Amino acid sequence: MKDEIHGLADGAVVSPACRETARATVDLDAICRNVEVLCKHAGSAAVMAVVKADAYGHGLLPSARAALRGGASWLGVAQLSEAMAMRDNGIHAPLLSWLHVPGSDFAAAVAADIDLSVSALWSLAEIADAARGLGCTARIHLKVDTGLGRNGAFGDDWQTLLPAARRLEAEGLVRIVGVWSHFVYADEPTHPTVRLQEERFGQAVREAERAGCDLEVRHIANSAATLTNPGAAFDLVRPGLAVYGLSPVPALGDPQSFGLTPAMTLSADLAVTKRIPAGQGLSYGHEYVTSQDTTVGLVPIGYADGVPRNATNVGPVSVAGTRHTVAGRVCMDQFVVDLGPTSGAQPGDRVTLFGAGESGEPTAQDWAEATGTISYEIISRIGSRVPRIHVGGQR
């Protein structure tokens, strides 16, 4: 398979005449292998590969197909637009969408055989109306809030939602195929909330079954739980970050310790190199001042492309196998690196912001630690003008 270059937002192919200044190279074979590993961790449970947010910045359609090749039997997304994009592009695997607002186009989703999450009476009513208009049955997963305090029916709302859904199921308007929830502290497997949520989830499942629900799947496990808590697998696990080869529990192990391979490498080409004397400030505000005569390089990628602005003076990069740090403020389109007094770097040389770390380059986790965030944000925030170059993918 030839390498493919795509933009993030619409999948448009970038013209070869427009050389990219930066790129996110995505190894589809790594995604495939990561899912194979996750399938082993899941045991008898099926695997739903979460491909929301443009597959965590990796490219929705290529990543979804790679995950299916690796053994995922379900796909999961937050928004209906993501689900419809997959259906419109020939991906027919079981597919769940879970984050909706009143007035969403549920009719299109039901017609496209997309499973829908239901957390409240309003969504149940709108989905049933859509099914009634189409003369068919909508597949729904009831979400119970077991303690996260985010989406899902909480407390007495669950006791209202469940019988309402069963009444509509009796009418043939919906089919309750799943009950699901989400952990608060899955990245801390011994945290007391983990066990408490498992108990609450089990209770909600039993209540659904006693109410007459014939469930296909029960699911609560995310990446962290899939890797560290086999007892939470139930019928289906929903790994997201781990699909792309990053550790959801960095305090417990790096990707390699779980058999995962980071799939994305973010790099750019030096646009300018020049000699700068000692005592010269670099970038806005001169927050970095050279301590000696040195060579600096201009890296043409900035916060408009997803490089954290607070990477100023802390963001790690690699040039010709040597680690350096962002020197001065990260700007909208660029930042500067102090390459040292003996550097022979030239315009066009490759700068790696993060990758798998196998050649000593920084990782997304290194960037997360440097900027006080999590690796999820580092990879998913890469902007739309950074093309995704997909490599591999042959099976």
Q: Which candidate in 143, 185, 244, 284 is catalytic?
A: 284
3-state secondary structure of 390: strand
The torsion angles phi and psi of 47, rounded to 5 degrees, stand at -115, 125
Q: How far, in Å, CA of 183 to CA of 272, rounded? A: 47
- For the question of residue 284 being annotated catalytic, the response is yes
Question: H-helix or E-strand containing 294?
Answer: strand 294-299
Q: How far, in Å, CA of 93 to CA of 87, rounded? A: 9
DSSP for 348-380, please give it: T-EEEEEB-STTS--BHHHHHHHHTS-HHHHHH
Q: How many CB atoms lie within 10 A of CB 11?
A: 16
Q: Which candidate in 40, 52, 143, 244 is catalytic?
A: 52
- For the question of residue 376 being annotated catalytic, the response is no
Q: Which value, to the nearest 10 degrees, does the dihedral of the CA atoms of residues 73, 78, 82, 88 take? A: 50
The torsion angles phi and psi of 38, rounded to 5 degrees, stand at -65, -35
Q: How far, in Å, CA of 119 to CA of 37, rounded? A: 31
Going from the C-alpha of 274 to that of each of 277, 297, 313, 314, 320, the distances in angstroms are 10, 7, 19, 21, 17
The three-state DSSP-derived secondary structure of 73-138 is: CEEEECCHHHHHHHHHCCCCCCEEECCCCCCCCHHHHHHCCCEEEECCHHHHHHHHHHHHHHCCCE
Measure CA 181 to chain center: 18
Which residues are annotated as catalytic?
A: 52, 284
